[in-house]
Amino acid sequence: MEWSDLSMKVNMSNGDSLTKTQRRLMTILEDGLYHDRGELFDCINDELTELTTLRVHIHNIRKKIRPLGQDISCESIYEASKRTCRYRLVRLVQG
């Protein structure tokens, strides 16, 4: 399913459309590759943005796309004794 198809289904499924910021995040994630927090944070960054804001946006996007068989995966990695996360859009397996 292409991102544009997913975006339309989110808008039609429950009337709870993606915000402008959520659409920007999904545009980055649509390639299915992992993206680090910094890359995603840059697309929402302004003077008032905190790192928790990214987590809230990811959480809200997940709530909207899970009923459509999609999710955002988080992979924890450790670099130079520091934990960070990478995110990617994934298709859920029905079982």
Percent of the chain past pLDDT 70, that is, above it, reads 77
Q: Of 7-11, 23-27, 56-60, which gets the smallest average pLDDT?
A: 7-11
pLDDT in tens, 29-75: 999 999 998 889 888 866 666 767 888 999 999 999 998 899 999 99
- 87: tokens are 């995110």
* pLDDT at 89 exceeding the cut of 90: yes
* pLDDT at 95 exceeding the cut of 90: no
Encoded amino acid at 1, one letter: M
Full strand arrangement of the beta sheet holding 70-79: 35-36, 82-91, 70-79
What pLDDT, on a 0 to 100 scale, did the predictor assign at position 52?
A: 78
- Residues linked to residue 75 through DSSP beta bridges, in sequence order: 86
- Cα separation values, 95 from 69, 80, 88, 92, Å: 12, 38, 21, 9
pTM beyond 0.75, yes or no = yes
